[in-house]
Amino acid sequence: MNIHQPRGDVSGRTLAIIEELKGLEGPLLPIFHEIQHEFGYVPQDCLPVIARELNLSRAEVYGVFSFYHDFREHPAGRHVLKLCRAEACQSMGGDQLAERAKHLLGIDFHETTPDGAVTLEPVYCLGLCSCAPSAMFDGEVHARVDAGDLDALVAEARR
């Protein structure tokens, strides 16, 4: 994953996304997903544009944006490592794995390494509970992750 820095005009590209999706029933979440896909996060400059186009208040639009864990206010690192923190993974040593990840990266959950390489995020269930513990690295799923697997993922992210 690359850091997406908004190039050129954020509101122009936001308008294009809104134009494409506003015919949907309940278009706001699809619009946020598409904006995050486009920019890597949801630049706050988009919010008034969305509000105007969908005839909502800015407070409503911000309220929806801030409710959902997925939507980022700031860009993530070049790589995103999500570790499952839910019960099935806990039963197979997920907590120790999380501690190891934090230690290796020198950051806590919801943080990005100072070099911008990796963002560490918790996830509550990837649906791989029969082969726990599990992780998602840049959208790819990994199951039965042990310390060695984790070290390899972190090394790959650091490269």
Partner 1 sequence: MTTKIYIPRDAAALALGADKVAKAMEEAVVARGLDVAIVRNGSRGLHWLEPLVEVETPEGRVAYGPVKARDVVSLIDAGLVSGGDHALCLGKTEDIPFLKQQTRLTFERCGVIDPLSLDDYRSHGGLRGLANAIAMEPMSIVTQVTESGLRGRGGAGFPTGIKWKTVLEAAGERKYIVCNADEGDSGTFADRMIMEGDPFVLIEGMAIAGIATGATKGFIYTRSEYPHAIATMAQAIEIARRAGVLGPSVLGSGRAFDMEVRTGAGAYVCGEETALLNSLEGKRGIVRAKPPLPAHKGLFDCPTVINNVISLASVPIIMDKGAAFYRDFGMGRSRGTIPIQIAGNVKHGGLFETAFGLALGEIIDHIGGGTASGRPVKAVQVGGPLGAYFPRALFDTPFDYEAFAARDGLIGHAGIVVFDDTADMLKQARFAMEFCAIESCGKCTPCRIGSTRGVEVADKIAAGIEPEKNRELLSDLCNTMKFGSLCALGGFTPYPVVSAMTHFPDDFKPAPVAEAAE
The contact set with partner 1 (CB under 8 A) reads 25-30, 32-33, 54, 63-64, 67-71, 86-92, 123-132, 134, 136, 139-144
Contact 38, 5 (CB under 8 A): no
The residue assigned the tokens 């015919």 is: 23
**Is the CB of 114 or the CB of 122 nearer to partner 1?**
122
CB of 105 to partner 1, least distance (A): 21
HSE-CB of 75 using CA atoms within 13 angstroms: 15
Q: Which is nearer to partner 1, 9 or 20 (CB)?
A: 20
Distance of closest approach, residue 66 Cβ to partner 1, in angstroms: 8
Host H or E run for residue 137: strand 135-137
**Comparison of 9 and 108: residue with beta carbon closer to partner 1:** 108
d(CA 155, CA 149): 10
